[in-house]
Amino acid sequence: MARRSVLFSPGDRPELLRKASQTEADVIVFDLEDAVSPARKDDARSAVRSVLTDPDFSPTAEVCVRLSGVDDRADLAAICADGSVVDAIMRSKVDDPAQIDELQAQLMGYDDDLTLYALIETAQGVLNAEAIAAATATDVVVFGAEDLAADLGATRTTEGTEVLYARERVVLAASAANIDAIDTLYTDFSDTEGLRTDTEFSLTLGFDGKLAIHPNQVPVINDAFTPTDEQLEWAKKVLAARDEAAASDRGVFQVAGEMIDAPLIAQAERILERAA
């Protein structure tokens, strides 16, 4: 499934949880962690449960809940209540694949078919990114630059060079494990052009989607991860020429003066997959 835009919504604000489902986000995340103060965790669980089990709540997006990081047992009891439409669970600050395996074991009493998101946002998590992504229970990895910078004691910059190595390591790990990789958020939700530039960079790195913290960020992210008409036309020409070349036993061929080989064929296939 497409996971271009992954929109967070605070778990203790039921009106915003419902509003999130009315956006065009591919994934909506009901957040029980950072968006909720410690004193309101119970209120947030109740709010999330009431929305997830409401018969009138029927979102088209994938519905994910980020665990509070305080009490998994209480979180899961609320999230996985009878009638819940939850599709996925996200665990923050994953340092080791055993944490995802443990979460899957906890879900055995509920629904063990839920998609599991591993949020990698610590130095240890980045160093273990390959093992975390390769774990059987991991379905999606997410890169979190803000918490990583705090863990490192790094200073966040507009260029993001301080987290670039980690960003690339996470997407490489996801690609090697053949799972989706979601890139970090862009914190200034009023800066549309900055978000567009950063999202286009996410795409060049190989990410499948990007986090959003405001509904206004969703269309910008979706647009950046959706192939343009020109890209689609190029991809179709490449694959048509590939088929023609295969009939003549040619491994390399040209399209509009450009020499095409296996890597560019793979790029064309990826463009069509993303468009679909």
Q: Which residues are catalytic?
A: 261
| Residue 135, C-beta contacts closer than 8 angstroms, at least 6 positions apart | 97, 100, 101, 118
Determine the Cα–Cα distance for residues 256 and 245; give it in Å rounded to an integer: 15
Extract the tokens encoding 264: 């560019």
Closest-CA residue to 64 (of 275, 226, 211): 211
Q: For residue 1, what is the DSSP state?
A: -
Sign of the CA dihedral running 264, 269, 274, 276:
positive
H helical segments located in 70-183: 72-79, 97-106, 123-127, 129-134, 145-152, 161-177
Sign of the CA dihedral running 263, 264, 266, 271:
positive
Sign of the CA dihedral running 240, 241, 243, 248:
positive
Look-up of token digits 């986000």: 25
